[in-house]
Amino acid sequence: MKTVLLTGATGFLGYYIARQLSDSNYKTIALVRNSSDISHLAKLSNIEFILFNEENVKSIYKKNKNIKAIIHAATTYGKQQNYCEVQKVNFFLPSFLLHSAIEHKVNYFINCDSFFTDYYQSYKNLEFYTLSKHQFRQWGEKVASNSRVKFVNLKIFHMYGARDREDKFIPSIIRQLSEQKDNVLNLTNGEQIRDFIYVEDVARIIKLLILHEEQVSYGFNNIDVGTGIATSIKNLVMKLACNTNTSTILNFGAIQQRQGEIMYAVASKNEYSFLKDIIFTNLDEGLLKTINHFLNQGFKIR
């Protein structure tokens, strides 16, 4: 059975990747921490959980001779100012895994990156996150140019969906719509343009990259992961309000935009034929799934 080594399986995107791999009859070796909650992954078939440390990773290669790829989906944002953890998860962990893969003749590495990384010098809201992601992107590109490895860097645009963290943008808007006691939600003008892609679509793209690995070129491959559809933040928030039937008044323009705000971020078309015919989840459908998930988690719309 073909095997994939996956980081971040207990996280938002990683859960959906693990599910896609399980459905495709791949064995997934999920690198986890002592503190990881694996209960929501227990029903998946062909998944093995290994506590991450260097010795365990070495033993994985000894016991599994058919590892097809490594997918790095783990990430941390440093919102609690734990900058050492940001550097460890976003740079040192994938760097170690990339070099161990090359050492053991595993020549396919998929890195889950973000469109935010392009703005590491100007977007101060996530500056340590974007800097660490940028550094590993550069490291991967340099290693790929000097080794026989297929390094795929997935520049993922605004991903959303059920099971996301409650402090992320869309869940936080849903929560605020549900908790506005004075029925007014103050917002920026909402003119920022984004490319919103449902998390299951991102996981399907990663599965296709695994299934069609032979069509991926050696060296560094940078792939935009998005729908290519431009949607304003204002339009998105209005959709959320409409789909929740909230009575909250949306007060656009009440909050000043952040300095260095990213005003336009939409994916470009990619060159791989096996990715061109994907039918993406409609934004309204994806938002409704997301809203229903959080309502089931206890959000109460006012």
Domains of the chain: 161-195+227-302 (3.90.25.10)
Under 8 Å between Cβ of 52 and 28: no
What is each CA distance from 124 to 116, 119, 158, 192, 275, in whole angstroms? 11, 9, 17, 16, 33
**Residues of the chain under the 70 pLDDT cut:** 81, 180-182, 299-302
* Angle CA 9–70–3, to nearest 5: 85
Under 8 Å between Cβ of 236 and 201: no
pTM of model > 0.85: yes
- Euclidean distance between CA atoms 260 and 277, whole angstroms: 35
Strands 108-114, 150-156: pairing kind: parallel
Under 8 Å between Cβ of 5 and 69: yes
Amino acid type, 244: T
pLDDT of residue 301: 46
pLDDT of residue 83: 87
Give the relative orientation of helices 233-244 and 283-296 as an angle to the nearest 10 degrees. 50
pLDDT above 70 as % of the chain: 97
